[in-house]
Amino acid sequence: MLTVRKSMKRTGFKPRGLALVTPEDIEARHEARQQRLAALMLVEVRETAPLNISTEVVAVPKEDAIEYEPYRRLVAKLPCMFCGIEGYSQHAHENENKGKGLKLDDRRAMALCCTRPGIEGCHVAFDQYRLLPGGRDAHVEQGKLWSAQTRQQLRREGRWPAKLPHMPGEEELAFDG
């Protein structure tokens, strides 16, 4: 079977030629943009430092976080530390030094309940600093306390995983009764 294609219609715009952009052009465009923004904000334009782009990469020291799935599952079986509901808990990390791309040690966690139909879980409210009065600082301090209580409870009940090392400074507590 033979198919016939219709040719594409041309637009009314004339084709532009390619132009090379020099560093001076970029600097001029930057200065013009600064002037326009200043005019919009009705502020005086100050002389700015030249645009310097650094390719230097600086390493950020990170905590040696331990990830251990059996411990996460063990914590998730505990009742919620805030409301006490059973069967809906999740392994919830503390909120200290937490951020995008940063992993916290799995041992620095507690059980908090998940969101269910019609009920916001304590885990979500804790991560968004709405669970407790006092804002971020209160959540950070409470998270430290709850994670320490969780570790103590698991050691006391003899459920601490044999392959998981104790937190630094808590080794001596491992055999307390």
* Inside any domain, residue 78: yes
Residue 77 lies in a domain: yes
Residue 32 lies in a domain: no
Say if residue 1's pLDDT is above 50.
no
- What is the extent of the structural domain holding 135? 69-163
Q: Which residues contact 118 (CB under 8 A, 6 or more apart)?
A: none
Structural domain contains residue 168: no
Q: What is the pTM of this model?
A: 0.62
**6 in a domain, yes or no?**
no
What are 27-50's pLDDT values in tens digits?
888 888 888 777 776 655 556 656
* Cα 38–Cα 41–Cα 44 angle in degrees, nearest 5: 45
pLDDT tens figures, 45-77: 556 656 566 666 665 555 578 899 999 999 999
Is 16 a domain residue?
no
Cβ atoms 121, 160 nearer than 8 A: no
How many distinct structural domains can be found in the chain? 1
Residue 54 lies in a domain: no
CA 104 to each of CA 18, 33, 64, 160: distance values in angstroms, whole numbers, following the listed order: 50, 42, 8, 19
- Of 34-48, 67-81, 93-107, 144-158, the one with minimum mean pLDDT is 34-48
Answer whether residue 19 is part of any domain.
no
